[in-house]
């Protein structure tokens, strides 16, 4: 069965693969960048960032030499910023330990920061033509339907079975194309809600289709709805209202990015306490400037936005007074979170 599946998948890929920029290269660094960007992010979104990021950091050496601010600035708007920081750390390790060349050895790749089994397999199969499997959401959906896997996604036995099937398919010619074919099929025809079984190259081998259960499989993992959390944010402006105080905390929710001072809370007292904790002397407005909502993977932030006039800013590496002009723009050269850009846009509308 794997031989027939492989042949059908490769034919499908050769005839129907989308023309995506990261499919025009065998450079392991460029493939690494694309795979990190594509984690939990739509292809159309990544298209807007991928070429621009590689133009700015065309090699491992260029990225390794960049500051964290420069990297997060280029990543700003993609979300899940921990990915960018781990990519940066991983590339620095490649430059320090491997002369800037992404290692061909799978175990060496797996030891790099931010590279797990999936990313290692993508780089290994696509860049180095090695029979290394991958399992992401699209691949899992295809394999669950083809093999009628009834156990829920995310469970240890389900994951083991998926990687076993993916490993069997990766053995043979063109493992990179084979893996991309699985992803392409899951992203296009074998979709989550409306699988187009009549057009699927695996229709004859698919147990879910034969059993009339394509809509039922895979069995989803149990999801916890995002928790609503009340936050306050403070826009501290200087006398001219031309500059704003931003803070950065490595362990904060937006660690590594520059943000308006923020913390949990819902009123002016919480905002005042926040400024006191940071050591920022400012005259706080007791009435909020506005409210906004920001959705993260596990949290729904309901943010009350306050304004303040700066009196004195302590000299700390985690606090900066920056020109407000341009900070609400995703193209800014400072790594600023999307939430802060949204809040600043609201500040300067009032």
Active site residues: 35
Helix-, strand-, coil-residue percentages of the chain, each rounded to 5:
45, 15, 40
> Is the Cα dihedral 45, 183, 16, 29 positive or negative?
positive
d(CA 112, CA 73): 23
d(CA 313, CA 323): 15
What are the helix (H) ranges across 211-337?
268-278
d(CA 162, CA 193): 20
Report phi then psi at 275, rounded to 5.
Answer: -65, -40
Pairing of strands 281-284, 290-295: unpaired
Under 8 Å between Cβ of 236 and 274: no
Report phi then psi at 41, rounded to 5.
Answer: -135, 140
């Amino acid at each position: 069965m794997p031989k027939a599946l492989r042949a059908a998948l490769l034919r499908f890929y050769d005839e129907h693969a989308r023309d995506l920029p990261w499919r025009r290269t065998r450079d392991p660094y460029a493939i690494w960048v694309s795979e990190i960007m594509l984690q939990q992010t739509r292809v159309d979104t990544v298209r807007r960032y991928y070429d621009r990021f590689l133009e700015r950091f065309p090699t491992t050496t260029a990225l390794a030499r960049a500051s964290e601010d420069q990297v997060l600035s280029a990543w700003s708007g993609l979300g899940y910023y921990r990915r960018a920081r781990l990519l940066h750390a991983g590339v620095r390790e490649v430059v320090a330990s491997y002369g800037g060349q992404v290692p061909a050895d799978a175990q060496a790749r797996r030891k790099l920061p931010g590279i797990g089994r999936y990313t290692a397999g993508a780089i290994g199969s696509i860049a180095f033509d090695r029979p290394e499997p991958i399992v992401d959401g699209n691949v899992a959906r295809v394999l669950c339907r083809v093999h009628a896997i009834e156990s829920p996604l995310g469970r240890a036995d389900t994951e083991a079975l998926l990687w076993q099937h993916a490993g069997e398919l990766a053995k043979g010619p063109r493992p990179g194309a084979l893996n991309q074919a699985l992803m392409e099929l899951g992203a296009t025809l074998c979709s989550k809600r409306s699988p187009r079984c009549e057009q699927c190259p695996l229709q004859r081998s698919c147990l879910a289709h034969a059993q009339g259960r394509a809509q039922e499989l895979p069995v989803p993992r149990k999801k916890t709805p995002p928790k609503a959390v009340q936050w306050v944010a403070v826009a501290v402006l200087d006398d001219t209202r031309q500059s704003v105080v931003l803070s950065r905390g490595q362990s904060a929710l937006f660690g590594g990015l520059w943000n308006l001072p923020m913390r949990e809370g819902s009123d002016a007292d919480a905002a005042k306490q926040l400024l006191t904790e940071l050591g920022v002397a400012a005259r706080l407005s007791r009435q909020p400037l506005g409210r906004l909502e920001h959705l993260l993977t596990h949290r729904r932030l309901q943010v009350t936005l306050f304004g303040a006039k700066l009196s004195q800013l302590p000299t700390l590496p985690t606090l900066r007074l920056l020109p407000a002009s341009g900070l609400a723009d995703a193209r800014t050269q400072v790594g600023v979170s999307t939430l802060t850009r949204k809040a600043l846009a609201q500040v300067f509308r009032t």
